[in-house]
Structure 1
């Protein structure tokens, strides 16, 4: 009965002070909703790879190279996983290795360019992907077997029960073969086994026989191959250190010194890999957002505390009356705390509503699937209770214990005995709010500037009007000659100025790397250089300038092409030449390549990768020598790109009737390199909006409260001659000092945080005072607008009305 009475009185007080209740509930619910959204995002990141049974014993054979250009972190030596199983059966119980390729899949007259994952037959035994149809034990035993996800089954056939149907897949020599569907998987959540990114994933899994069909058997058999993804399932109790030692022994036995001296195999459990891959970028992103969410929640609670403290001082007489009527101290304490907890409970319910409404939008911002409330474990249902109690206790503790201790007579007079209003405490809390808002706001500005720098920096080539299209693969001498004739047909079109074919485009990838040195030196003095396989038109298509020589020769069919390569300026410098001219015609050698090569030209440095890393030494090989290609690149004439694309597509359908036409402009390709930064930018904008909204709600509540308590004072000041502008400035002074102190505290903290973030980029902006000044002035302007809007009515109110109020 007593609890019911507390709740009834609390409800009446909240209804009586509707404005402050609304401000409190709105600010706190916004903060809690943001925390819930970030918490759901963090939970989703934490659960990546959680669907696999024994994911703590499935080890990815991760590679740590002394020079990152020598290989990829996520791949390993082709035969290593099998050798571990054969030579160390006490450590390893099972393995799975796979390749990752793209080819054309046909169903009747429908053609799709798809990512494929050919690998060992143990795929469904090692990884516990649930199946809709088929048997996991036998699904990949046949040489031409294929397993699809339900999504791909629906895309190809319009249904999921497709076991027994066939797909036609094209190999890299232009041939086609039928593959029989033996199982259909449930659509899995994002995981690092079927795809390293959320936008690029494999959904077609092929049997081991397909590896020979694609001519990739050496990828698994050669100890020189470093591009196989390898997993081992260790037996219970086996540590990563034991596996690492075994791998090191095998490397020293089977690989040359140029490999084992530069490679460390670092096995990592599948349940840890996602958060640690790519230098832990996912973990860093998660921790940063959780930290920001924590600060925003703190800001919301500070608002709650500040307004509750200020509003409670207007209830001194109420306390006196209740004490005179026999109210005990513990009853008053419970009353104030009940009101705070009730507000916190309302705020949490509103926050849940915000979460449900904003979750899809927040997922689009971060380009991730944000888990819904039903995705959390059952014990999460208990989380609201401590959150509500903690928030309510923090906000209610001051009025509960300080004001309830006042003598009845003093309280009836509306005064506090021996207790001054905690002005410094309240202002200190406001400073913390502003400091947080300034840091978040400045971070958003700097992230935006760095992204603008990425997209506007001179990349060393002209990306405007350039588009790329993946081509069917026929990696034979005949296939190269055919593609060359196709390129020449496209080049004759009036809508284009240049066309080139290549294995890679400037999208962050390359054609591998090799050790390069100048004879008579040996490989011990070699440099590591990345390789680009292309034709003689690549420089024209991308507007790459030459430092010296030519980009191969105009007559690309010359027999001399086989001994000619092109270097970039960084490679020429790393090899010891003082100038590009000095390198012309000079011999160079590649590790494990018998022929001596001669420098035909040196390009200016251009960014083939992202601006995260410095420009690497590069050597460019003609596709006549290494018959590899994946893209045609078109430089369009300025003017009407839509008409040019339509004309190219029409010719494409005539030249490649079995291949889809999927084009992408370089602007979009480059944007994909900075997807993580763009997500961070969007998240920072959200955090800025939320933090500013909470701060301004706090300013609104405090100004309103101050106006209510200083109503008579304002009437007296106006009688004594104060103008409306002076009245407004008086209230503005409450925040001017706070904003100044907040900026003095926030600037060095923000500078240190952002300088550390920028240091992770090889090419970055020089952070000056501009972002800090812009943020300070913007925040000051917003506060002034709030103060002016709130005090305008009071400033023009007749003094007699102000003096009549109690």
Structure 2
């Protein structure tokens, strides 16, 4: 019986080649898109799950609120890890990781800039699953000046993985002995370092400060330990260990601190939540958002539904062509269940071919998808373990679902109705089919609106006045390598033709260092009038180099020695303190208590107010910021005033080489750094465009097929109309109007939903566009135009047909 089903299915498929091609192509496109999204979602959800104990590992985060300022940190206090292990028996182990930042590593007398270095406690390998190829994980990071490297790093610097005992030179003078080689950390990790340096080598690692947070701290809980119980104990822990330091710094206890409306709290975040749910200050790498997982999963479902709807539409539309077959089969005694089985077999067979094509297309196009999405997904043996059953499930489920309605619809035909010609044809009585067409185009229009909104928001980000000019600014990122020669290097650059100005500091709006400090409005250090802003150390050339605007007072001056105790506020900071005229007012900073318990303070006089500028992402509002005058050699930013960038860049490199012959200059342009901070949004926009195009193509394939069948079923009517004098335009309008009505209904349905969901997406941006009416007009016009062009081919073909042939064929 099954063999007969297959044979009949093959005959039916081969007999209707155009129908088969449209169906298979539509399903294949939909399935290929879904496979890519499945790859993306699986990759996103797999972050940090390579750790054997992933469900028992938690990161300790810190929440701090001071006055009206609040900030959430991914880092904690220096002594916290050791204290947690000592105080709580259900904490099996704890480890600290501290990003070492850009460092140069010597290879054959050439210094290479490396950015993936971190200091780590010896317990690193007890908490995380980092398989060691050589060395002892229990002792590898015990001693100062020891380092563990990844397999690829060992090969990069020594051309072999047998590197135990070899020496790596950091920063020209720091010698570290290799004590272990680990396998490369999987890409699906929220941190990905090539060098782990012993925390014992970091001078600050033994600090007992409880009011400073700069170590990413992780705990491994014992089996069945309750993380909520540990989290609930944190207030008592802070009271016990940080209470004295709080009283010394702010002259109040933690309870008094919280009564004033501020707080200082710790919380736990599961390791597997970090990549998709954490955007805290002090992350070890760039994280994603669970929001995009939801969005892409919904798009995958929508596109799959569009593909299935195509199948159902085309199958029911051609029902009249198979009505006689069904009638004859029933007259000959075929039970309805056999007819249902036959049509389902055809549906599953088509789905099999479509799935096969989709799998091949996904494998071939995977490198291109990786390039667009920024992923490094590969089809491995492990991937096939879940991909094979997924493909089988797709064939059975999609084939059965997509073919279920046609199967039950066609098998329900009554032989007498077939013989009497009572079956509805074309769009007569096709309410479900019309609903499905509306559904398809509603999704397509929704995606078009979403694409336009995302594009407009990204364009807004690119063109918004940020309060500084990021164009034509070259940033030398590793100026700290020059040490005492950094100032000489900066000064030599200002003498080059084409250089407008230069500033030296690691604190930059687009990238670089961040630093927060507590400032007070009065000398009594009243916590109620305190502020916790960004505090950046800059030179006198910073504001003019970045084309910032002083709105009150003046800039720092090299010629005024008292400016070392001067301070410049941004407008947000000035507003926070509530000064009517802030110039020459004084704000204070605590230096902690002295031996007598008296507080020492630094006082700063306000010399200027700079216009607010976006130094964080546009997802966040502009926060208070203070600038102090000093020497910081983190980076050198150069404003360029020439279009001959390559020639000037060569001169700058020559200046660098003159003061640092053994270290390569690491540089970028500020506008590129700015764009990089919105890479995820740009990627989302690109993928949205691609998926929208695919959804429209799939929908149009179905519409093309429906138009063909509608024209075929109205051949006699078209012939008679032409003989009676109807022109080509009238014939085209007659065939097109039913479809255009459905598209217009889809526009009305999808527009409010699209507005609501995109409005929610925009709420994630502190600075955002308003969704304009023309977005919906363009989306509707685009969908209508595409539909008209799709239908027109079949309509024109039918209108131009010889009516004599049409009537003779009938």
* TM-score bin (small chain): over 0.9
Shift of 1:312: 2.3
Shift of 1:123: 1.4
Shift of 1:510: 4.8
Query: Structure 2: how far apart are the matches of 1:311 and 1:374?
Result: 42
For the Cα contact (< 8 Å) 2:518–2:533, is it kept in 1? yes
Q: 2:497 aligns with which of 494, 497, 512?
A: 494
Q: Which runs of 5+ in 2 are unaligned?
A: 247-252, 281-286, 592-599
Instruction: Verify: 1:221 aligned to 2:208, yes or no.
Output: yes
Q: 1:514 aligns with which of 512, 517, 521?
A: 517
Label 1:105 to 1:202 Cα distance change in 2 as closer, same or farther (>3 A): same
Query: Structure 1: how far apart are the matches of 2:699 and 2:414?
Result: 35
CA deviation vs aligned residue, 1:655-701 (integer Å, no higher than 9, x gap): 12232212111111101121221121112112101111111111111
The root-mean-square deviation of aligned C-alpha atoms, in Å, is 2.3
Query: Structure 1: how far apart are the matches of 2:357 and 2:670?
Result: 44
Q: Within 5 A, what are the aligned runs for 1:372-411?
A: 372=379, 374-376=381-383, 378=385, 380-411=387-418
CA deviation vs aligned residue, 1:119-145 (integer Å, no higher than 9, x gap): 211112221212233222222123111
CA deviation vs aligned residue, 1:287-341 (integer Å, no higher than 9, x gap): 1100111111111111111001112221111222223334332222211111111
Query: Structure 1: how far apart are the matches of 2:425 and 2:299?
Result: 39
Query: Structure 2: how far apart are the matches of 1:14 and 1:221?
Result: 77
Query: Structure 1: how far apart are the matches of 2:793 and 2:752?
Result: 32
For the Cα contact (< 8 Å) 1:510–1:531, is it kept in 2? no
Label 1:559 to 1:493 Cα distance change in 2 as closer, same or farther (>3 A): same
Scaled by the length of structure 1, the TM-score of the pair is: 0.92
For the Cα contact (< 8 Å) 2:477–2:668, is it kept in 1? no
Instruction: Verify: 1:131 aligned to 2:132, yes or no.
Output: yes
CA deviation vs aligned residue, 1:43-92 (integer Å, no higher than 9, x gap): 1111111111211112111223337976553111221121111122x121
More deviation, 51-60/6-15 = 51-60
Q: Within 5 A, what are the aligned runs for 1:171-250?
A: 176-192=173-189, 195=191, 201-212=192-203, 216-217=204-205, 220-250=207-237
Label 1:417 to 1:564 Cα distance change in 2 as closer, same or farther (>3 A): closer
More deviation, 115-124/465-474 = 465-474
More deviation, 161-170/757-766 = 161-170
3-state DSSP of counterpart to 2:702: helix
Q: Within 5 A, what are the aligned runs for 1:27-106?
A: 27-66=26-65, 72-88=72-88, 90-102=89-101, 103-106=103-106
For the Cα contact (< 8 Å) 1:471–1:659, is it kept in 2? no
More deviation, 445-454/304-313 = 304-313
Q: 2:770 aligns with which of 766, 772, 782?
A: 766
Q: Within 5 A, what are the aligned runs for 1:305-704?
A: 305-372=312-379, 374-376=381-383, 378=385, 380-416=387-423, 422-473=429-480, 479=483, 482-507=485-510, 510-520=513-523, 522-555=526-559, 558-578=560-580, 582-592=581-591, 594-624=601-631, 628-704=632-708
Query: Structure 2: how far apart are the matches of 1:71 and 1:77?
Result: 15
CA deviation vs aligned residue, 1:344-393 (integer Å, no higher than 9, x gap): 11111111112112222112211112352633373553333343233233
For the Cα contact (< 8 Å) 1:435–1:745, is it kept in 2? yes
3-state DSSP of counterpart to 1:659: coil
Aligned residues: 778
Label 1:598 to 1:427 Cα distance change in 2 as closer, same or farther (>3 A): same
Label 1:407 to 1:238 Cα distance change in 2 as closer, same or farther (>3 A): closer
3-state DSSP of counterpart to 1:66: strand
Label 1:610 to 1:402 Cα distance change in 2 as closer, same or farther (>3 A): closer
More deviation, 108-117/298-307 = 108-117
Query: Structure 2: how far apart are the matches of 1:417 and 1:438?
Result: 30
Scaled by the length of structure 2, the TM-score of the pair is: 0.92
For the Cα contact (< 8 Å) 1:41–1:371, is it kept in 2? no
Query: Structure 2: how far apart are the matches of 1:629 and 1:263?
Result: 32
Query: Structure 1: how far apart are the matches of 2:686 and 2:362?
Result: 18
Q: 1:296 aligns with which of 303, 321, 324?
A: 303
More deviation, 92-101/327-336 = 327-336
Residue 797 of structure 1 is matched in structure 2 by 801
More deviation, 317-326/598-607 = 317-326
Label 1:107 to 1:391 Cα distance change in 2 as closer, same or farther (>3 A): closer
Query: Structure 2: how far apart are the matches of 1:402 and 1:766?
Result: 46
Label 1:600 to 1:506 Cα distance change in 2 as closer, same or farther (>3 A): same
Label 1:192 to 1:65 Cα distance change in 2 as closer, same or farther (>3 A): farther
Residue 145 of structure 1 is matched in structure 2 by 146
More deviation, 423-432/501-510 = 501-510
Residue 198 of structure 1 is matched in structure 2 by none
More deviation, 781-790/752-761 = 781-790
For the Cα contact (< 8 Å) 1:611–1:763, is it kept in 2? yes
Instruction: Verify: 1:112 aligned to 2:112, yes or no.
Output: yes
Q: Which runs of 5+ in 1 are unaligned?
A: 196-200
Query: Structure 2: how far apart are the matches of 1:614 and 1:595?
Result: 29
Query: Structure 1: how far apart are the matches of 2:423 and 2:97?
Result: 76
3-state DSSP of counterpart to 1:416: coil
Residue 157 of structure 2 is matched in structure 1 by 156
Label 1:734 to 1:370 Cα distance change in 2 as closer, same or farther (>3 A): farther
Residue 10 of structure 1 is matched in structure 2 by 9
More deviation, 406-415/674-683 = 406-415
Shift of 1:709: 1.2
Residue 596 of structure 2 is matched in structure 1 by none
3-state DSSP of counterpart to 1:99: strand
For the Cα contact (< 8 Å) 1:321–1:408, is it kept in 2? yes
Label 1:110 to 1:410 Cα distance change in 2 as closer, same or farther (>3 A): same
For the Cα contact (< 8 Å) 1:146–1:182, is it kept in 2? yes
For the Cα contact (< 8 Å) 2:316–2:410, is it kept in 1? no
Instruction: Verify: 1:729 aligned to 2:733, yes or no.
Output: yes
More deviation, 321-330/759-768 = 321-330
